[in-house]
Structure 1
């Protein structure tokens, strides 16, 4: 009888712990993400394109500085730097260097703004462009973003992010034509002191 009571108590504890773990809501997730004012992570990105038999793979470093600077520094297969700072996009590839206003690329601008809004934990900015669905506990959350306005997102079907607590581990973007990219952050996206 004593073992049965211990088993029931352990079972009750397990259920209460799992229900508390499932209580992650959007405002709490945004609060966890907002703690990273400066984020740096190594990435591997695989692009799955319908016209190719195998994915295209690249790797490098992703840097975010609040409120709106996002740097994607690709090292392999060839060096390339993409820097988005506010409404400015800079691309460097070898001797080619160009800076353009982000607003000239409506789909890209909305995707970038949604990603930076997520990294800085800005729920209201995110909700301007996306419907969201959050699932999982804080240590294994999944966030699906779907565009609210088809005019702004002619090519984007959804963005899926996953992580734990204030760390983003994967960003998967699926386009309306079926092409998709999966960025895996090898180290958790870690807030740094800078």
Structure 2
């Protein structure tokens, strides 16, 4: 095969990958209701994460890695494997936390609305439940299908716990969560779909 044919083949492959249909999909305007409906249609998500927490009281950020699992309608599991094992499971209104080999601690989210707000900041968008999100947050979406940003700005009581929540994604894939507290402490989670 000649060099010219190889270049032509590579050019055709590139054009196919980034052809008019793909460019149009990336440029199409995205509506909040449409994004939430597509999220609601996904029965289960698995992903890996790298989390960085910054605190005003600490000089260095705290980092961790692990896996996430979301299953409709209200199951969320966060398994941290580094630097120490930790497992958080939210099933409906029940949160179970297990640190290393210690016995699990169980918390009823109905009795701890501040913790429930933090849980819903993550679980709410994944469930696609826009009505539930709007009860706690002003919800704003910017961008197009191939690259969007969802901002959750807390209302009333929730504003004591959170300054903002930002999700960045593409299509139905969430790539980043950023939770910022009123004192400036922040939790950023970079997410990659599980292999």
Q: Same fold (TM over 0.5)?
A: yes
**Counterpart-to-counterpart distance in 2, 1:46 and 1:96:** 26
Tell me, what secondary structure is at the counterpart of 2:36? helix
Within 5 Å, give how 1:1-150 maps onto structure 2. Answer: 21-93=27-99, 94-149=101-156
TM-score by length of 2: 0.82
Task: Give the Å deviation of 1:29.
Answer: 0.9
**Counterpart-to-counterpart distance in 2, 1:186 and 1:114:** 19
Aligned-pair Cα RMSD in Å: 2.0
Tell me, what secondary structure is at the counterpart of 1:173? strand
Task: Give the Å deviation of 1:125.
Answer: 1.2
Asked if 2 retains the 8 angstrom alpha-carbon contact of 1:144 and 1:159, the reply is: yes
TM-score by length of 1: 0.82
Higher relative contact order (CA 8 A, sep 6+): 1
Q: Which runs of 4+ in 1 moved over 6 A?
A: 17-20
Name stretches of at least 5 consecutive residues in structure 1 with no aligned partner: 1-13
